[in-house]
Amino acid sequence: MGQVVNSVETKKLYIETVGCQMNVLDSEMVVASLRRHGYDLTDSIDRADTILFNTCSVREHAEEKVYNHLAQLKRMKLAFPQKTIGVMGCMAQKDQKQVFERAPYVDLVVGPGQLHRIPELLQRIEAGQGQQMAVSLGRRDGSQEDIRRSHETFDPLRDPTMRPTPFQAYLRIQIGCDKFCTYCIVPMTRGPEQGRSPELIVAEARELANQGCKEITFLGQTVNSYKYVNEDKTTRLADLLEMVHEIDGIERLKFVTSYPKDMTAELLRTVRDLPKCSTYLHVPAQSGSDEILKRMKRGYTVADYYAMMDRIHDILPGAAVSSDFIVGFCGETDHDFQQTVELVRRCRFKNSFIFKYSVRPGTRGAELYQDDVPEEIKALRNNQLLAIQNEISQEDNLAFLGQSVQVLVEGPSKASIKRGEPGPLRQLVGRTQCDRIVVWDGNERQIGQMLNIVVHDANAHTLFGTVETMELAPEVFPLPSV
């Protein structure tokens, strides 16, 4: 059956996003700019004129999934050649022309530093100019300045409809990364570390507040290393938090992801002194073994990490800290892994994201070391560490029983959506300032509000509660006399 595509008025865009918060934000930006070029979103690939995949390269598995998905679209593209298929994001930057080689029916390849060119490139494709590619320079392919310039941050417009909720938004303060951890592809795909100017950041935060946004999360690969130098003035993350804290309407400020070495006492004191700042810190440890940390080139020892945790708890008692771990990195022995277990037990993270090491061609790790931990051992260590972390998360969550927590109400819970609850009375989900997920039976009118919930049950991932009710004044509702 034929389909009408490429109608002159509005074109339909389907976009699929995998990977980190940076990608979620990039997709929001691309959609906002394409809307200005006459596109409207659709959630159906069949109805789309343009199909974009925003991709991730951090692990091989994420890439394979995209290539498999592309393979499934081959027949559709043969039947409807006027449909445009694009690959954007880190995999586009990493694989470049190889994307066309593996999937010759792809029309567009755009790296994360070139996203501003998407509307123009789509126009060229429409005009019959064939496949288009825009990628940034590699880390050794030019002068520092040229490389930096080729990785442009793309933050022109904000589109509340593309955000998970209109009252929560990510705000990029930094692009790229210069840490070069040996396992990680990000410094290659997202280029050199560059802080955005404080003026732009504050202006964007104001715009978000005007759009009704209450919670802003600053994004950066190593967000607490943020630095912007203008003549003799240096701005750091603590300064940015102070500036954005002033904006009316903004009620909560978070920042991810932090780098352990740059978690200074000064920054922690700023978080303590600014009431809108969440006392939630995501500071990946990656491993609890000095030998592995050295091989990962993380730039700190286990003792440094413990000292940082002490600093956090001294200055911010009750802060929630979460972490990332890679298990099965090259040469990881059982003894190394046991040290990671020890670190997880001692640090009692709110939660941890645990990944099996995946070799990334183009990294120092892939060049220098043998990926010698068998897949079964990686899987075993992953499961063991996850089980220990879950036990800790559950114990810590149970400590909330009977307590009242303040949440920003995000919307219907996943379970409510799955059950197809018709609303307005349905199960809702929100987050505490410490990033804990809370679920209760509520009313859709509560979405977007700050609400107090009394916790009466908990598992490792979720607190369950009921809305705290005000004590009713007796003169308003007199008790019946007996």
Binding site for ligand SF4 (CB under 6 A): 177, 179-181, 184, 186-187, 221-222, 259
Nearer to ligand 5AD, 21 or 403 (CB): 21
- Cβ of residue 255: shortest distance to ligand SF4, in angstroms? 14
Task: Supply the minimum distance, in Å, between the C-beta of residue 187 and ligand SF4.
Answer: 5
Cis, bond preceding 424 (omega within 30 deg of 0): yes
In the complex with ligand 5AD, the residue whose CB is nearer, 359 or 460, is 359
Would you say 198 or 328 has its CB closer to ligand 5AD?
328
Tokens of 140: 């050794």
CB of 299 to ligand 5AD, least distance (A): 14
In angstroms, what is the minimal distance from the CB of 326 to ligand 5AD?
A: 5
Residue 221 interacts with, from ligand 5AD, ligand SF4, none (CB under 5-8 Å by kind):
ligand SF4
* Cβ nearer to ligand 5AD, comparing 350 with 360: 360
Contact of residue 326 among ligand SF4, ligand 5AD, none (CB under 5-8 Å per partner type): ligand 5AD
Please report, as ranges, the residues that interact with ligand 5AD according to CB under 6 A.
Answer: 58-59, 183-184, 284, 286, 324, 326, 355, 357-358, 360
Which partner in ligand 5AD, ligand SF4, none is near 324 (CB below 5 to 8 A by kind)? ligand 5AD
In the complex, the smallest distance separating the C-beta of residue 8 from ligand 5AD, rounded to whole angstroms, is 42
Q: Which does 179 bind (CB under 5 to 8 A by kind): ligand SF4, ligand 5AD, none?
A: ligand SF4
**HEC readout, the chain:** CCCCCCCCCCEEEEEEECCCHHHHHHHHHHHHHHHCCCEEECCCCCCCCEEEEEECCCCHHHHHHHHHHHHHCHHHHHHCCCCEEEEEEHHHHHHCHHHHHHCCCCCEEECCCCHHHHHHHHHHHHCCCCCEEECCCCCCCCCHHHHHHHCCCCCCCCCHHHCCCCCEEEEECEECCCCCCCCCCHHHHCCCCEECCHHHHHHHHHHHHHCCCCEEEEECCCHHHCEEEECCEEEEHHHHHHHHHCCCCCCEEEEECCCHHHCCHHHHHHHHHCCCECCEEECCCECCCHHHHHHHCCCCCHHHHHHHHHHHHHHCCCCEEEEEEEECCCCCCHHHHHHHHHHHHHHCCCCEEEEECCCCCCCHHHHHCCCCCCHHHHHHHHHHHHHHHHHHHHHHHHCCCCCEEEEEEEEECHHHHHHCCCCCEEEEEEEECCCCEEEEEEEHHHCCCEEEEEEEEECCCEEEEEECCCCCCCCCCCCCCC
- Give whichever of 60 and 342 is closer to ligand 5AD, judged by the CB atom: 60
For residue 316, the partner it binds in ligand SF4, ligand 5AD, none, with Cβ less than 5 to 8 A by kind, is none
Is the Cβ of residue 183 or residue 349 nearer to ligand 5AD in the bound state?
183
Other beta carbons within 10 Å of 314: 10
Binding partner of residue 222 among ligand 5AD, ligand SF4, none, CB cut-off 5 to 8 Å per kind: ligand SF4
Nearer to ligand SF4, 58 or 405 (CB): 58
Cis before 257 (ω within 30): yes
Q: Which does 112 bind (CB under 5 to 8 A by kind): ligand 5AD, ligand SF4, none?
A: none
Q: Which does 440 bind (CB under 5 to 8 A by kind): ligand 5AD, ligand SF4, none?
A: none
Question: Which residue's CB is nearer to ligand SF4, number 22 or number 309?
Answer: 22
Say which entry of ligand SF4, ligand 5AD, none residue 358 contacts (CB below 5 to 8 A, set by partner kind): ligand 5AD
Closer residue to ligand SF4 (CB): 221 or 389 = 221
Q: Write down the least CB distance from residue 327 to ligand 5AD, Å.
A: 9
CB 264, min distance to ligand SF4, A: 17
